[in-house]
Amino acid sequence: MTSAFKAACIQNCAVPDVDRNIDTTVRLTREAAAAGAQLIALPEYFSGLETRDGKIFPASFAEADHPVIPAFAAEAKSLGAWILLGSLGVKAADGRINNRGYLIDPSGQISARYNKIHMFDVDLDADKVYRESATIAPGNEAVVADTAWGGLGLSICYDLRFAHLYRSLAKSGARILAVPAAFTKVTGEAHWHVLNRARAIENGAYVIAPCQHGTLDGGAQCYGHSLIIDPWGRVLADGGDEEGFIIASLDMAEVDSARQRVPALTHDRPFALSEPAQAAE
């Protein structure tokens, strides 16, 4: 198993034209590979996303017909890189859409799929209401994918707020945690950095978190600031709020070091929740 390598996060602002999004993100992926990246991660719904009346409408196709998958399978094979398609809209059997991430290996094969588990059904304020579950079907299976550098724990966007998911991924072998997102500007400014750093620190794992930036069709604003964070919680790279990519060196020995210094993954203990104390009469 290789210990050290370079990882990159692509940062784009998806437009309604899927082909244009593919062209933009393929170009950025090639640039990241030319800079030495061997694992390249793209954001949630990087191939197209629209919001209308609080509902989420990604560009969606049946998996067999999805134009993004063969385009990036060819790039992975040509570049000899692992590519994480942060998420795509994939038509589900119940008429809704799966928010599904794909990991493509350097031979161009799909090595893992993950359907986002937690749905973004929130009321941020009177004019920022989101109901992801109205159009998106949730997944129910956590995934740790095998890579040349060890386990890669897959998640998507709102999953970031559920610490127990990442604990389970780390205990199942994840040494890198992927958090592709289209995080809103409102929640991103308040929580994005601290939540990603917390997931890294809690689990002694690298976090790679590509995030869309800018204003999407329909008016929703994405925060950007794609992040690469080391197992001690240090931000190695931050994408700011413009199109581009970030890149950083990852060394799996740092995972071992962090977990030896603070072996919290071995310290979990079962506990019972006590009954509330009864008020004295």
Sequence ranges of the domains in the chain: 4-264
Could you list the active site residues?
Answer: 44, 116, 157
Beta carbons of 1 and 148 less than 8 angstroms apart: yes
**Ranges 95-104, 120-129, 209-218, 256-265: which has the least confidence:** 120-129
b (16+ CB within 10 A) / e for 224-247: bbbbbbbbebebbbebebebbbbb
Half-sphere exposure of residue 29: CA atoms within 13 angstroms, side-chain side: 28
Q: Is 238 helix (H, G, I), strand (E, B) or coil?
A: strand
Tell me the pLDDT tens digit for each residue of 63-98: 999 999 999 999 999 999 999 999 999 999 889 999
Superfamily of domain 4-264: Carbon-nitrogen hydrolase (3.60.110.10)
pTM for the structure as a whole: 0.95
What band does 54 get if pLDDT is binned at 50, 70 and 90? Answer: confident
Alpha-carbon gap, residue 158 to 255, rounded angstroms: 24
Tell me the pLDDT tens digit for each residue of 167-221: 999 999 999 999 999 999 999 999 999 999 999 999 999 999 999 999 999 888 9
Beta carbons of 40 and 8 less than 8 angstroms apart: yes
